[in-house]
Structure 1
Amino acid sequence: MLQTTALYHLSQDPTMARIIAETPAPKLFNDYADDLYLALLESIVSQQISVKAADAIFGRFRALFPDKYPEAKALLLKTTDELRSAGLSFQKIKYLQSVAVFSLEKSLRRADVDTMTDEEIVQYMIPIKGVGRWTVEMLLMFVLDRPDILPIDDLVIRQRMIRAYPEQTEGLTGKALYTELLNIAEPWRPYRTTASRYLWRWQANVTGL
């Protein structure tokens, strides 16, 4: 029902209506629905490498722990050499350790995080080393199922929006472009997550757009 309502709302924008009509429905999946801590670890491992490489490294990393679960205290007890054996860089090791420390000192439990607004969650998590706004926005969309996230810093989202709305974005760069993209997406509220999912799947060479 929620998805139907979101699509109806987004379709009030003629351009978005055409994108939705010509794009296969995005698959809705959530591997870490109740484990924000593990999702953060996986997100850091995945940074700047291919999906295949990330899956292999994360698998080896998890295999270092009982039941393949990197409990925070156990993670902090691992030596650099042990963690390096999984294929992790020195930098990513520091980032993973930062997540572990954060989870021990504060909270990454869904029950606590779910009480926060989207922006409160962003500000809560970005002090973690290796975690920026984009990373938190991905967690908001794909782990916490927040319905109104627009990851404007995502290159693909920006490129697809520029392609779909050429008249509004032609000749714009920098802050002016960001401002216009946000203006374009404003009518999509409160379903910008669904719009973003469709933009990711949309083939930007579709004629007529």
Structure 2
Amino acid sequence: MSGFRRSSRVVKQTKELKNNRAVSSIQKKRNKNSVAQTTKEIVEKIVKQDEEKNLQKTAITRQSMRKLDNRPSILYFMDKDAHLEKAIEHFKNQDPKLAAYLNDKLLLKYRSRLSRHSAGLVNAFRCLGTAIIYQQIHGKAAASIESRFIQLFTTLSNGFPTPEQVLEKSIEELRSAGLSARKAEYLRDLAAKFKDQTIQPEHFESMSYEEISKQLCSVKGIGQWTVDMFLMLDLHHSDILPVGDLGVRKGIIKHFGLTIPSNCSKSKVFPAPDQMIELTRCWRPYRTLGAWLMWQIQDIKVVGEDAHAEEIV
């Protein structure tokens, strides 16, 4: 009898153990499913947050691009169709203080620059080659190097070597004129891109700001600042604002009476490019003349305007 009871207890305990194991297994599955569901929700939440961040970044980028849209509003040539006179009248209406800078002396100086050559007759290779030579060098020193560079060539058709002639010279020969190895390389790259028609100056007059910039910036050593100088001073485009030019930036600070923030570090650009674009919006479509005047109110000499230029922009 006692054996039967023990057997019954064993059977009962075995059943309970099996039931407990079954319950435990079910619970584990539930926990596993719960963890999986929670993980899935967390991943979905992270993905959603990332998507929202990307959308915000895209919106900010688009907004910044709109703010930083420094493209000319329209293409005029300052040496044609009385656009200088139109620019003066525009400034009188939109920025009388700017117009007041244009005294007879400065007007004569600017007219003299415009009369140097017609935009359609520019020797683009010479202009850009000279720009490379003058980069980061004092005006007189740069003029001396350019003179020695020209003297390397025995026959010159218009006072400056052709792309083909430059390519005939080695880096060492070009350096003998006082050029750095890097500038010698830049000049050869410029010559190569003129020769292979990467740069097509014969089409400049009908090309847009973006098209010309793309061609010229393909040359080693030429960035947007050099392009802007070329468009302003050689092609006479009317609506160029070189936001990367220190002289123009300082002129804008002076002209608009800006105060440099006390917490503005030396490495921080002030005013920022978008601020410059916004402040000079009223100058459009004649920002080129406005930028030129920013140099003049600080007595900054521009290449080609004074043979004894002390400061070059």
Q: Which residue is 1:44 aligned to?
A: 132
3-state DSSP class of the match of 1:24?
A: helix
Whether the 8 Å CA contact 1:36–1:109 is kept in 2: the answer is no
Q: How far apart in 1 are the matches of 2:209 and 2:187?
A: 23
Q: How far apart in 2 are the matches of 1:157 and 1:23?
A: 20
Match among 102, 113, 136 for residue 20 of structure 1: 102
Letter in structure 2 aligned against 1:193: T
Match among 289, 301, 305 for residue 194 of structure 1: 289
Larger CA deviation: 70-79 vs 20-29: 20-29
- The structure-2 alpha-carbon separation of the partners of 1:36 and 1:165, relative to structure 1 and needing over 3 Å to count, comes to same
Cα offsets for 1:70-115 (capped at 9, x unmatched): 2222212212222121111101000001101110122545431222
Cα offsets for 1:1-35 (capped at 9, x unmatched): 32111011012213323333597334332469421
Match among 83, 98, 106 for residue 2 of structure 1: 83
Which runs of no fewer than 5 residues in structure 2 stay unpaired?
1-81, 300-313
Q: Which residue is 1:207 aligned to?
A: none
Letter in structure 2 aligned against 1:85: S
Q: Which residue is 2:183 aligned to?
A: 92
Q: Of the two structures, which has the highest relative contact order with CA contacts closer than 8 Å and spacing of 6 or more?
A: 1
Give, in angstroms, the shift of residue 189 of structure 1: 0.9
Q: How far apart in 2 are the matches of 1:181 and 1:8?
A: 22
Q: Which residue is 2:241 aligned to?
A: 150
Aligned-pair identity in percent equals 32
- The structure-2 alpha-carbon separation of the partners of 1:177 and 1:81, relative to structure 1 and needing over 3 Å to count, comes to closer
Whether the 8 Å CA contact 1:126–1:132 is kept in 2: the answer is yes
Whether the 8 Å CA contact 1:99–1:129 is kept in 2: the answer is yes
Q: Which residue is 1:115 aligned to?
A: 206
Task: Mark the structure with the bigger radius of gyration.
Answer: 2
Q: Which residue is 1:53 aligned to?
A: 141
Letter in structure 2 aligned against 1:196: A
Q: How far apart in 2 are the matches of 1:23 and 1:152?
A: 26
Larger CA deviation: 18-27 vs 78-87: 18-27
Whether the 8 Å CA contact 2:260–2:270 is kept in 1: the answer is no
Root mean square deviation of aligned Cα: 2.4
Larger CA deviation: 80-89 vs 148-157: 80-89
Whether the 8 Å CA contact 2:174–2:184 is kept in 1: the answer is yes
Whether the 8 Å CA contact 2:242–2:248 is kept in 1: the answer is yes
Q: How far apart in 2 are the matches of 1:41 and 1:14?
A: 37
Letter in structure 1 aligned against 2:202: A
Task: Give the alignment's TM-score, normalised by structure 1.
Answer: 0.86
Which runs of no fewer than 5 residues in structure 1 stay unpaired?
205-209
Letter in structure 1 aligned against 2:294: L
Larger CA deviation: 142-151 vs 102-111: 102-111
Q: How far apart in 1 are the matches of 2:201 and 2:195?
A: 15
Letter in structure 2 aligned against 1:147: S
Cα offsets for 1:112-171 (capped at 9, x unmatched): 12221122211221110000101011110111111111111110100110111125x653
Give, in angstroms, the shift of residue 178 of structure 1: 2.1
Larger CA deviation: 110-119 vs 147-156: 110-119
Give, in angstroms, the shift of residue 42 of structure 1: 0.7
Q: How far apart in 2 are the matches of 1:50 and 1:105?
A: 32
3-state DSSP class of the match of 1:127?
A: coil
Q: Which residue is 2:251 aligned to?
A: 160
